[in-house]
Structure 1
Amino acid sequence: MFHNAEEVLLIASVILFFSIFAGKAGYRFGLPALLLFLGVGMLFGSDGLGIQFSNPHIAQFIGMLALSIILFSGGMDTKFSEVKPIASQGVVLATVGVLATTFITGGFIYWLSAFISGYVSLTFPESLLLAAVMSSTDSASVFSILRSKGVYLKQKLRPTLELESGSNDPMAYMLTLILISYIQSGGMNIAEAGLSLLIQLVIGAIAGYAFGKIAVYVINHIDIDNASLYPILILATAFLTFSATTLCKGNGYLAVYIAGLVVGNAKIVHKKSIGTFFDGFAWLWQIVMFLTLGLLVNPHELLPVAGIGLTIGVFMIIIARPVSVFLCLLPYKNFDLKGKLYISWVGLRGAVPIIFATYPLIAGVEHAGLIFNVVFFITILSLLIQGTTVTLAAKWLDQIDEPEKKDEFGIELPEDIKSAMSEIDITPAVLNHGNKLMELTLPDHTLAVMVKRNGRYFIPKGNTELKENDKLLMISDNDEALLQAYESLGIQDYTMKKN
Structure 2
Amino acid sequence: MDALDTVSLSILLGALLVLVGILSSLVALRFGAPLLLVFLLLGMAAGEAGPGGVRFDDVRLAYLVGSVALALILFDGGLRTRFATFRSVLAPSLTLASIGVFFTAALTAPVVVYLLELSWLEALLVGSVVASTDAAAVFFLLSGRGLRLRPRVAATIEIESGTNDPLAIFLTILLVELLVAGDRPWPSIVLSLLGQGVGGAVLGLIGGRATVLALNRLALPQGLHAPFVTTAALTVFGVGQALHASGFLAVYLAGLIVGNRPTRAHNTVIAFLDAATWLAQIVMFVLLGLLAWPERLLANAGAALAVAAALMFFARPVAVLLCLAPFPFSWRERVFISWVGLRGAVGIFLASIPLLVELPNAQLYFNIGFVVVLVSLLVQGWTLAPAARWLRIALPRSEPAPRRVELDLPGQLEQELVGYHVGTNNPYLRRKIVPSWAKPVLVVRDERVLAAAEAGPIKPGDHIYLLAPPEKAQVLDRFFVDMPPPQKPDPRLLGDFFVGGDITLGSLGEIYGLAIAPADRGTTLADHFAARLGHPPQPGDVLPLGSIALVVHAEAKGRVTRVGLRLADADPEPSIRARRRPLRRLMRRVGSLVRALLLP
Decide whether aligned partners of structure 1 residues 322 and 240 sit closer, same or farther in structure 2, where only a CA change above 3 A counts. same
Q: CA deviation at 1:70?
A: 1.2
After alignment, is 301-310 or 483-492 more displaced?
483-492
Match of 2:202 in 1: 206
Q: Which moved more, 1:309-318 or 1:79-88?
A: 79-88
- Determine the C-alpha separation between the residues in 1 that align with 2:215 and 2:413: 15
The one-letter code matched in structure 2 to 1:197 is: L
State TM-score, norm by structure 1. Answer: 0.86
User: Structure 1 counterpart of 2:13, which letter?
Assistant: I
Q: 1:40 to 1:431 in 2, by over 3 A?
A: closer
Match runs of 1:85-484 below 5 Å? 85-113=88-116, 121-224=117-220, 226-333=221-328, 335-401=329-395, 403=397, 406=401, 408-411=403-406, 414=409, 416-417=413-414, 447=440, 449-450=442-443, 459=449, 462=454, 467=459, 473-475=465-467, 483-484=499-500
CA gap of 1:174–1:429, structure 2 versus 1, over 3 A, is closer
Post-superposition offset of 1:5: 2.7
8 Å Cα contact 1:427/1:469 also seen in 2: no
- Residue 590 of structure 2 aligns with which residue? none
| 8 Å CA contact retained: 1:242, 1:252 | yes
1:450 and 1:474 in contact (8 A); partners too: no
Amino acid at match of 2:304: G
Q: Does 2:22 correspond to 1:28?
A: no
Counterparts of 2:429 and 2:106 in 1: how far apart (Å)?
Answer: 65
Match of 1:357, SS state, is: helix
User: How many residue pairs get matched?
Assistant: 474
- Alpha-carbon spacing, 1:300–1:481, altered in 2? closer, same or farther (3 Å): closer
State the Cα distance separating 1:155 from its structure 2 match.
4.8
5+ unaligned residues in a row in structure 2: which ranges? Answer: 470-495, 513-563, 565-600
SS in 2 for 1:152: strand
1:109 Cα deviation (Å)?
A: 1.1
Query: 1:251 & 1:400 partners in 2: Cα distance?
Result: 34
Cα deviation code 1:221-279 (max 9, x no counterpart): 1112x121111211221121111111222111000111111111111111111111011
Where structure 1 has 5 or more consecutive residues not aligned to the other structure, the ranges are 114-120
**Structure 1 residues 431 and 21: CA distance shift in structure 2, 3 A:** closer
Amino acid at match of 1:182: L
- Once residues 446 and 70 of structure 1 are traced to their aligned partners in structure 2, the CA distance between those partners, rounded to angstroms, is 34
Contact preservation (8 Å) 2:146, 2:398:
no
Q: Separation in 2 of the partners of 1:401 and 1:413? A: 32
Q: Tell whether 2:53 aligns with 1:50.
A: yes
Do 1:430 and 1:489's aligned partners in 2 also have CA atoms closer than 8 Å? no
Q: Give the superposition deviation at 1:83.
A: 2.0
Q: How high is the TM-score relative to the length of structure 2?
A: 0.73
**Contact 2:47/2:54 (8 A) holds in 1:** yes
| Contact in 2 for aligned 1:425/1:471 (Cα 8 Å) | no
Partners of 1:432 and 1:195 in 2: how far apart?
Answer: 62
Larger relative contact order (C-alpha < 8 A, sep ≥ 6)? 1
Q: CA RMSD in A?
A: 3.3
CA offsets 1:76-130 (integer angstroms, 9 cap, x no match) = 11111222110111111111110011111012211232xxxxxxx2111011111
Classify 1:14/1:387 alpha carbon distance in 2 versus 1 (closer, same or farther; 3 Å): same
Return closer, same or farther for 1:223/1:489 CA change in 2, 3 Å cut-off.
farther
- Is the 2:336–2:387 Cα contact (8 Å) retained in structure 1? yes
Identity among equivalent positions (%) equals 32
What secondary structure does 2:503 align onto? Answer: helix
Deviations along 1:108-163, whole A, 9 cap, x unmatched? 211232xxxxxxx2111011111111111112012112112221011522221111
Please report how far the alpha carbon of residue 45 of structure 1 lies from its aligned counterpart in structure 2 after TM superposition.
0.5
Q: 1:468 offset after TM fit, Å?
A: 6.3
The 3-state SS of whatever aligns with 2:326 is coil
Cα offset for 1:397?
0.8
Q: Distance in 1 between matches of 2:9 and 2:325?
A: 56
Cα distance change, pair 446–208 in 1 and its aligned pair in 2 (3 A): closer
**After superposition, what is the alpha-carbon deviation per residue over 1:368-394, rounded to whole angstroms, capped at 9, x for unaligned?**
110001111111111000111111110
SS of structure 1 residue aligned to 2:405: coil
1:425–1:494 CA contact under 8 A, matched in 2: no
Between the aligned partners of 1:101 and 1:384, the Cα distance in structure 2 is 20
Distance in 1 between residues matched to 2:44 and 2:197, nearest whole Å = 35
